[in-house]
């Protein structure tokens, strides 16, 4: 008997489990290590702005403090470093500059916009005529975080490495059962696999496949993240993650030649140095039709819950909403943001 069963140990399951551990709440977390996870291949980029209209990303002012606070706490708990702040450079065309200048003058985005300037020379990059530079950006190395947390969960007896079949879960008034385990609630955090979870409405997700590559480039600047039609993220030792593609039509985890050549064409417009391709990955983002996370207890089954829909910005969303999710589980009367409520799909 435990209190909660979490299914899935990507970003969503890991953060929710961390909140439970922190609050001394009993739980088990089930993960199928063979089942691919978007979190293990994601670049983990942190960017508070939407460049298209140069606006703040949804809820950025609330999400950012919670995000850095939570990941720093986890780093301390694990004695492992996985989050790094690094300035992001956004190359601009001349027509973009008035809008950037306007945002700086308005003042409410100065926390995120460092400056707008001209003529930047960075080792290995083509000359950048105009650019904006951003604060508060960086990346979370999710692969390191997820595996360090997996070891931690294992050491504390929380982890069950198995594939859970939804049809093996049974419900009674007081408990939910799976194999020889019983709990008060089960929470599904299976990323895009929950788009086909028979226990929840089937038309809430609008999944997005993404591909990215890893390169090694000895003469490429490692001090900044570059972002122009794609990102170039330094990850140390002259390695860089380059991505990502967006495909809403073919949903699978297979890297393609088209994806790779799309990334390389964009990369070659940006850089001016030799590189070697080390890896090429593909994954599926659990994106939702209205682009908001999904949190909630099933309206017709109080033993069943979901924490999902982290979409394209899981790193920013997971710390804040995992805390809200736990409050909701512990007290179903808790008021959460209407935009993220599971109820919106019923
Ligand atoms: C190419 C790409 C680039 C991305 N880049 C970024 C980025 O730069 N910044 C950012 O914030 N986000 C990025 N994302 C999005 C980010 O990856 C997601 O928001 C986040 O990882 C989703 O986490 P999740 O836990 O919901 O799902 P997942 O990470 O997919 O985790 C699902 C978990 O469920 C488990 N599971 C599934 N089925 C079962 C089963 N039957 N039994 C047991 N376990 C099961 C899996 O093993 C896994 O542990 C990117 C995604 C992709 C694909």
pLDDT value for 108 = 82
- The pLDDT assigned to 258 comes to 97
| One domain, residues 225 and 98 | yes
| Top mutation candidate among 37, 141, 208, 293 for ligand 1, by most atoms within 8 Å of CB | 37
Q: What is the CATH number of the domain that holds 269?
A: 3.30.9.10
Cα 297 to Cα 30, 168, 183, 326: the distances in Å are 19, 19, 15, 11
The pLDDT score that the predictor gives to residue 186 is 98
pLDDT value, residue 248: 96
Half-sphere exposure of 82 (CA within 13 A, CB side): 25
Instruction: Give the residue-averaged pLDDT of 238-263.
Output: 97
- pLDDT tens-place string over residues 77-116: 999 999 999 999 999 999 999 999 999 988 888 889 999 9
Give the distance (Å) from ligand 1 centre to CA of residue 241.
17
203-224 per-position pLDDT tens digit: 899 999 999 999 999 999 999 9
Q: How far apart are CA 214 and CA 123, in angstroms?
A: 19
Query: Taking 90 as the threshold, does the pLDDT of residue 36 lie above it?
Result: no
Q: Are residues 95 and 224 in the same domain?
A: yes
145-193 pLDDT, tens digit each: 999 999 999 999 999 999 999 999 999 999 999 999 999 999 999 999 9
Among 143, 148, 150, smallest CA distance to 214 is for 143
Same domain (yes/no): 232, 281: yes
SS3 225: strand
Whether 156 and 279 map to the same domain: the answer is no
341 lies in the same domain as 300: yes
Report the relative pairing of strands 304-308 and 294-297 from DSSP bridges.
antiparallel
Domain boundary among 249, 264, 285: 285
Whose C-alpha lies nearest to ligand 1, atom 3?
Answer: 42
In percent, the amount of the chain with pLDDT more than 90 equals: 96
CATH number at residue 18: 3.50.50.60
Q: Quickly list DSSP for 105-153.
A: HH-TTTTTEEEEEEEE--TTBPPEEEEEEESS-EEE-HHHHHHHHHHHH
Q: How does pLDDT run across 317-329, given as a tens digit for each residue?
A: 999 999 999 999 9
Find out whether 325 and 295 touch, Cβ atoms under 8 Å. yes
**Residue 220: what pLDDT?**
98
- Let me know if residue 53 belongs to a domain: no
List, in order, residues 6 or more apart from 318 with CB less than 8 Å away: 11, 12, 14, 15, 310
Phi (first) and psi of residue 279, to 5 degrees:
-150, 160
Mean pLDDT of the 241-258 span: 97
The pLDDT of residue 86 is 97
Q: With a 6 A CB cut-off, is 191 part of the ligand 1 pocket?
A: yes
pLDDT at 106: 87
Into how many domains does the chain fold? 2
Q: Which residue has the tokens 């007896």?
A: 157
Give the whole-angstrom CA distance, residue 139 versus residue 35.
24
Check residue 202 and give its pLDDT.
Answer: 84
Which ligand 1 atom lies nearest to the CA of residue 13?
Answer: 25
pLDDT in tens, 196-205: 999 998 889 9
Mean pLDDT to the nearest integer, 218-244 = 97
Domain range for 112: 87-136+208-285
The pLDDT of residue 126: 97
Which region, left, alpha or beta, applies to residue 18 given φ > 0 means left and ψ of -120 to 50 means alpha? Answer: alpha
**Model confidence at 31: pLDDT above 90:** yes
Q: How many residues are given for the chain?
A: 346
CA pair distance 123, 228, nearest whole angstrom: 17
Read off the pLDDT of residues 264-298 as tens digits, 9 standing for 90 and up: 999 999 999 999 999 999 999 999 999 999 999 99
Same domain, yes or no, for 8 and 121?
no
pLDDT value of residue 241 = 98
Task: Report whether residue 10 contacts ligand 1, using a CB cutoff of 6 Å.
Answer: yes
Same domain, 212 and 132: yes
Q: Is the CB of 259 under 6 A from ligand 1?
A: no
- pTM exceeds cut of 0.95: yes
Confidence at residue 107, expressed as pLDDT on a 0 to 100 scale: 84
Q: What is the mean pLDDT of the chain?
A: 96
Which ligand 1 atom is at minimum distance from the Cα of 311? 19
Whether 109 is covered by a domain: the verdict is yes
Q: Please work out whether the CB of residue 14 comes within 6 Å of at least one atom of ligand 1.
A: no
Rounded mean pLDDT, 32-39: 93
pLDDT computed for residue 185 by the predictor: 98
Domain boundary among 242, 259, 285: 285
What is the C-alpha separation between 135 and 111, in angstroms, rounded?
7
Clarify whether residues 106 and 215 are in a common domain.
Answer: yes
Beta bridge partners of 188: 7, 306
């Amino acid at each position: 008997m435990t209190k909660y069963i979490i299914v899935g140990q990507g970003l969503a399951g890991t953060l929710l489990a961390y909140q439970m551990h922190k609050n001394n709440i009993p739980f088990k977390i089930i993960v199928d290590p063979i089942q691919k996870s978007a979190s293990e291949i994601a670049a983990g980029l942190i960017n508070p702005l939407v460049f298209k209209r140069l606006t703040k990303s949804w809820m950025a002012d609330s999400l950012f403090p919670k995000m850095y606070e939570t990941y720093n706490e986890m780093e301390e708990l694990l004695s492992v470093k996985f989050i790094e702040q690094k300035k992001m450079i956004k190359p601009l065309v001349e027509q973009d500059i008035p809008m950037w200048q306007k945002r700086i003058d308005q003042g409410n985005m100065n926390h995120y916009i460092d400056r707008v300037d001209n003529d930047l020379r960075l080792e290995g990059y083509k000359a950048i005529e105009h650019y904006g530079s951003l604060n508060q950006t960086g990346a979370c190395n999710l692969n390191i975080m997820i595996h360090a947390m997996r070891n931690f969960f294992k050491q504390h007896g929380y982890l069950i490495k198995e594939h859970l079949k939804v049809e093996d879960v049974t419900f009674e008034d007081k408990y939910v059962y799976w194999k020889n385990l019983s709990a008060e609630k089960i929470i599904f955090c299976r990323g895009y696999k929950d788009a086909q979870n028979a226990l929840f409405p089937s038309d809430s997700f609008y999944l997005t496949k993404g591909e990215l590559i890893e390169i090694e480039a000895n003469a490429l600047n490692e001090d900044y993240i570059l972002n122009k039609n794609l990102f170039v993220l330094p990850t140390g030792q002259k390695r860089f993650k380059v991505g990502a593609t967006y495909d809403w039509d073919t949903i699978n985890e297979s890297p393609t030649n088209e994806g790779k050549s799309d990334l390389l064409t964009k990369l070659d417009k940006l850089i001016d140095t030799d590189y070697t391709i080390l890896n090429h990955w593909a994954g599926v983002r659990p994106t939702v039709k209205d682009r908001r996370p999904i949190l909630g207890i099933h309206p017709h089954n109080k033993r069943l819950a979901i924490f999902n829909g982290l979409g394209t910005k899981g790193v920013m969303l997971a710390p804040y909403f995992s805390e809200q999710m736990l409050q909701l589980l512990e007290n179903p009367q808790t008021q959460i943001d209407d935009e993220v409520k599971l109820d919106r799909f019923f």
